[in-house]
Structure 1
Amino acid sequence: MKRIGVVGIVIEDITHAKEVNMILHEYADIIVGRMGIPYKEKNLSVISIIVDGTSDEISALTGKLGRINGVSVKSALTKA
């Protein structure tokens, strides 16, 4: 069953931004939209993505992102 949700990503170590983007590209088929904001004053980036996929697909995406040092990930999904 597919679910819709939002995934928030905070990249505190900008050197890992390329790795984050590679993972997002890998899951492009479940990403509906994306907004990224570089916060130069704090030397970090914030990315918000809208996803439409199965729980397993979304969990795999957030799991891979969460294993990157200097990257924090949170998600909120529809219940049904």
Structure 2
Amino acid sequence: MGKDTENTRVTLVGIIVEDQEAAGRINGLLHEYGEYIIGRMGIPYHEKQMNIISVVMDAPQEKVSALSGKLGMIPGVSSKCLYAPDTQKAPK
């Protein structure tokens, strides 16, 4: 059974991790929202003692907002979302 993509948007979620202890909580959240994740890439940046994670989702707006909000509540973690144009709106 495929998921309904009629009311979804493609979103890039950028996550900066400055506290390595937060990794387990982040991975748990990403697993929780896994059905909406198209792909992810993690980059360790040893010189700055941080990790950068890019997550691409195709999800309803409320799911993306919920994930971003939960990530933002983890100490040592910050996240921002970049939304693709909403191609489902009628042209002007």
TM-score by length of 1: 0.95
Q: Distance in 1 between matches of 2:85 and 2:66?
A: 18
Q: Counterpart of 1:45? A: 51
Q: Which has the higher contact order (CA 8 A, sep 6+)?
A: 1
Amino acid at match of 2:30: L
Cα displacement (A) at 1:38 = 1.0
Identity level (%)? 46
- What are the Cα deviations for residues 7-60 of structure 1, in whole angstroms up to 9, with x where unaligned? 000001111111111100110001000000111121110000101000001111
Runs of 4+ in structure 1 off by over 4 angstroms are none
Q: Distance in 1 between matches of 2:30 and 2:60?
A: 16
Q: Counterpart of 1:57? A: 63
Q: Distance in 1 between matches of 2:49 and 2:14?
A: 17
More strand by share: 1
- Secondary structure of 1:65's partner? helix
Q: Distance in 2 between matches of 1:13 and 1:72?
A: 10
Q: Distance in 1 between matches of 2:84 and 2:49?
A: 32
1:28 aligns with 2:34: yes
Q: Distance in 2 between matches of 1:37 and 1:67?
A: 21
Q: Counterpart of 1:69? A: 75
- Secondary structure of 2:44's partner? strand
1:6 aligns with 2:3: no
More helix by share: 1
